[in-house]
A and B are shown apart, each in its own frame.
Chain A
Amino acid sequence: MSTSAAPVPEGPSGVGEGAPSALQRVFGALRAIPVVWYLTIVLWVWIAAINPLFAEPSGFLAYLKQAAPLAILAAGAFFVLASGEFDLSVGSLVTVCVVVAAAISDGDPSKTWPVIALLFVIGLIVGLINGVVTTIFRVPSFITTLAMLLILDGAVWLYTSGSPKGALADNFREIGRMGIEVPVIDQLPYSVIILVAIGAFSAWLMRRHFGRQVLAVGDNDRAAALSGINVTRVRITAFVLSALSAVIAGILLGGFAGVTAQVGQGLEFEAITAAVLGGTVLGGGRGSVINAMAGALALTALFSWLNLQGVSGAFEDAVEGVIIIAAVAVASYRLREGS
Chain B
Amino acid sequence: MTTSTPPVAQHPGPAAQGGSQRSAASRFWRALTKTTTGQVYLALIAILVICWAVVAIKGSNLLTIDSITDMLIRSVALGIVAAGQTLVIIGMSLDLSVAWVISLTSIVAAVVMDGSNGNIVPGILAVLAVGAAIGLANGLIITKLRVNPFIATLGVALIIQSIIESNWDGVVEGVAKGFENSLGYSEIGPLPIAVLLLAAVYLAVWFLLRYTRFGHQLYAVGGSEEVSKLSGVRTHRVLITAHVICAVCAAITGLYLASRLGAGSPLVGTDGGYDLESIAAVVLGGTYLLGGRGSVLGTLAGVFILAILDSTFNALEVNAFAKDVVRGVIIIVAVAAYSFRAKGRRVRKIGAGPAATGNAPQTQTQGANA
Contact = CB atoms under 8 A, between A and B. Distances in A.
A321 B158 contact: yes
Interface of B: 141, 145-148, 150-152, 154-159, 161-163, 165-166, 276, 279-280, 283, 289-290, 319-325, 327-329, 331-332, 335-336, 339-340, 342-343, 363, 366-367, 370
A147 B332 contact: yes
A173 to B, nearest CB: 27
B336 A137 contact: yes
B332 A226 contact: no
Interface of A: 133, 137-140, 142-144, 146-151, 153-155, 157-158, 222, 225-226, 229-232, 269, 272-273, 276, 281-283, 312-322, 324-325, 328-329, 332-333, 336
A142 to B, nearest CB: 6
- Identify whether the interface residues of B are mostly helix, strand, loop, or mixed: helix
Given A232-B370, A321-B155, A329 B325 contact: no
Contact of B370 (A230, A315, A318): A230
Nearest to A230: B370
A336 B290 CA distance: 22
A329 B166 CA distance: 26
B166 A315 contact: yes
Nearest to A129: B332
A147 B156 CA distance: 24
Contacts of A324: 151, 154-155, 158
Contact of A153 (B146, B147, B163, B324): B324
Contacts of A222: 367
Closest 4 CB pairs of A and B: A321-B158, A154-B324, A314-B165, A150-B328
A52 B290 CA distance: 49
Contacts, number: 149
Given A282-B148, A321-B157, A324-B151, A158 B331 contact: no
B338 to A, nearest CB: 9
Nearest to A335: B146
A149 B279 CA distance: 14
B236 to A, nearest CB: 14
Nearest to B284: A143
A320 B147 CA distance: 15
B138 to A, nearest CB: 10
B324 A336 contact: no
Contacts of A155: 321, 325
| Most A-side CB within 10 Å, residue of B148, B159, B276, B370 | B370
A100 to B, nearest CB: 15
B155 A325 contact: yes
Nearest to B276: A146
Contacts of B283: 140, 143
B140 to A, nearest CB: 11
B148 A151 contact: no
A137 B322 contact: no
Contacts of A157: 320-321, 324
Contact of B150 (A158, A282, A317): A282
Contacts of B165: 313-314, 317
Contacts of A148: 328
B340 A151 contact: no
